[in-house]
Amino acid sequence: KTTTMKLLLGLLFPTSGNAFVLGKRATDVTKNERIGFLPEESYLYRFLNAEETLDFYGRLFDMPASVRRKRAAELIDMVGLRTAKRRQLREYSKGMTRRIGLAQALINDPELILLDEPTSGLDPIGTREMKDLILRLRDEGKTVVMCSHLLPDIQDVCDRIAILHHGELKELGRVDSLLKVTDVTEIMVNHLSSEAREEVKQTIQRLGGEVVSIDNPTTTLEDLFLRIIEDSTARPGRRVVHRDEPDAGGATGDDSEQG
């Protein structure tokens, strides 16, 4: 995946074949003025702060000083680093470093954004923040190409995917089309009584269908974690709920420990 990105950027040269990016050959480096790139490792100057970092990369694109300052301020707000904008990058966490790395990839307001493992090494909160930023870029009309081996992240943010195996393209298409199971029908309802469930089951069987299971849906572990963190922020204090243990002595109410 990384090799593909380097070929598209003109950092590597193909042994055969051609690649075109934004209407130009991949080896034509002038096209890179319209591209933003976030490598897997953010190779940034650790002694600079966020403002200085973005100003430095803005200079590489010959952006006027006034434009650099305005663009840097916009991007720092966008990636949520306003309160840390004057701290040296050596003090940044991994998540903060990835966010300022994304900001530098956007300094030139690119048409095409290449992201190599953008969520690599991030905790669940940092991962969610990065994915939200990618979705925001998509909604703004940017073309984002993201390489990752973390399949849940790909499924969360990508509209189309390409699967590479041993350097060969094995699959290409829209995520919703590729993941659709055509021989299974899913019905989602709210507040269905046990009697109604049984009636639905009997109706399906009478019409020749097979009910594989009827169960309550589950959330993802990521969503559960983020919801707990959000609740903890709103209501500080330790709160442990033993959901998988039966009530002791027939007790009812909130089985929780606070401290």
Q: What percent of the chain has pLDDT over 70?
A: 91
Helices 94-105, 124-139: axis angle to 10 degrees equals 20
pLDDT at 258: 42
Kindly state whether residue 246 falls inside one of the protein's structural domains: no
Question: Which CB contacts under 8 angstroms, 24+ apart, belong to 202-211?
Answer: 209/185
pLDDT at 248: 47
Sign, Cα dihedral of 42, 48, 54, 56: negative
pLDDT at 239: 61
Residue 256 has pLDDT above 60, yes or no: no
Domain of residue 59 covers 2-179
Kindly state whether residue 218 falls inside one of the protein's structural domains: no
Angle (nearest 5°) at CA 2 between 150 and 146: 50
> What confidence tier does 85 reach under pLDDT thresholds 50, 70, 90?
very high
Residue 253 has pLDDT above 70, yes or no: no
| CATH number of residue 39's parent domain | 3.40.50.300
* Rounded Cα–Cα distance for residues 46 and 249 (Å): 58
Kindly state whether residue 204 falls inside one of the protein's structural domains: no
pLDDT at 257: 42
Angle (nearest 5°) at CA 42 between 38 and 45: 125
Say if CB 241 and CB 256 are below 8 A apart.
Answer: yes
Mean pLDDT of the chain: 85
Is pLDDT larger for residue 251 or for residue 240?
240
pLDDT digits (tens, 9 = 90+) for 137-189: 999 999 999 999 888 899 999 999 998 888 888 889 998 888 877 777 777 77
Kindly state whether residue 57 falls inside one of the protein's structural domains: yes
How deeply is 6 buried, as exposed, middle or buried, from its count of CB atoms within 10 A (0-12, 13-18, 19+)?
Answer: middle
* Rounded Cα–Cα distance for residues 44 and 57 (Å): 10
Of 13-17, 79-83, 166-170, the one with minimum mean pLDDT is 166-170
Kindly state whether residue 235 falls inside one of the protein's structural domains: no
How deeply is 198 buried, as exposed, middle or buried, from its count of CB atoms within 10 A (0-12, 13-18, 19+)?
Answer: exposed
> DSSP readout, 153-170?
HHHHH-SEEEEEETTEEE
- Among 46, 7, 44, 62, which residue's Cα sits nearest to residue 29? 7
Kindly state whether residue 79 falls inside one of the protein's structural domains: yes
pLDDT at 24: 94
Give, rounded to a whole angstrom, the gap between the first and last alpha carbons of the chain.
Answer: 48
Q: How many domains is the chain built from?
A: 1
pTM for this entry: 0.75
pLDDT digits (tens, 9 = 90+) for 103-146: 999 999 999 999 999 998 888 888 998 999 999 999 999 999 99
Kindly state whether residue 153 falls inside one of the protein's structural domains: yes
Residue 252 has pLDDT above 50, yes or no: no
Kindly state whether residue 196 falls inside one of the protein's structural domains: no
Q: Which residues pair with 256 in a beta bridge?
A: 241
> What confidence tier does 259 reach under pLDDT thresholds 50, 70, 90?
very low
